[in-house]
Amino acid sequence: MVFITDYQLFQLKSIELLQRDPAKTRYALKHRHSDNEAVIKVTNDVECYQFRINDSNAELAHDFIRDITFIFMKVAANRKGDDVGAGGGAFEEKKGGKNKKKGGKK
């Protein structure tokens, strides 16, 4: 895990990581009340970048969370036709056959 102190570099590395491997990249925000600071972590299980948030850079952190959430949503929308949901699984519509009611009046 790498703690990056420069916000611009952290943002750049995070977006690069997301673009390289959007299916595995995720982020987490952890807040410690005792120290009054938080840590944003972006990882894909191979690389991990962290940025420490304190009172002096709290506004940057809020902007980053908003931006990275938007980017994740955009990537997910672009993957609509990809393997997410394409395999069907529980949401696949059954073809053939009729829905039969069980019990109740006929």
Distance CA 84, CA 79 (A): 7
For residues 17 and 25, the answer to whether their CB atoms sit within 8 Å is yes
Q: What is the pLDDT of residue 102?
A: 57
Q: Which of 28, 19, 26, 27 is nearest to 79 (CA)?
A: 19
Q: What is the pLDDT of residue 91?
A: 31
Please give the single-letter amino acid code of residue 52. Answer: R
- Each residue's pLDDT tens digit in the chain (106 positions)? 789 998 889 888 988 998 888 889 898 988 888 888 888 899 999 999 998 888 777 777 778 778 878 877 887 777 665 544 444 333 333 344 455 555 556 5
Q: Out of 3.30.720.10, 3.40.50.2000, 3.50.50.60, 3.40.50.2300, which CATH number does the structure's domain 2-80 have?
A: 3.30.720.10
pTM of the entire predicted model: 0.62
Domain map (residue ranges) of the chain: 2-80
Q: What is the pLDDT of residue 89?
A: 37
